[in-house]
Amino acid sequence: MEVLQQISAVAGVLLLLGATLWWLRRRGVATVGLRRGGSTRRMECLERVALGPQQTLHLVRVGDRTLLVASSAAGCSLLHSVPCDELDRKPREAQA
- Per residue in 9-62, pLDDT (tens digit) is 999 999 999 999 888 888 777 666 655 555 567 888 889 999 989 999 999 999
- Per residue in 52-75, pLDDT (tens digit) is 899 999 999 998 889 999 999 999
Q: Which helix (DSSP H) or strand (DSSP E) does residue 69 occupy?
A: strand 65-72
Q: Show me where the domains of the chain are located.
A: 1-34, 38-96
Centroid of chain to Cα 86: 25
pTM given for the model? 0.51
- Rounded distance between C-alpha atoms, residue 66 and residue 8, angstroms: 53
User: Which of 64, 68, 62, 66 has the alpha carbon at shortest distance from 48?
Assistant: 68
User: Which of 89, 66, 68 has the alpha carbon at shortest distance from 80?
Assistant: 68
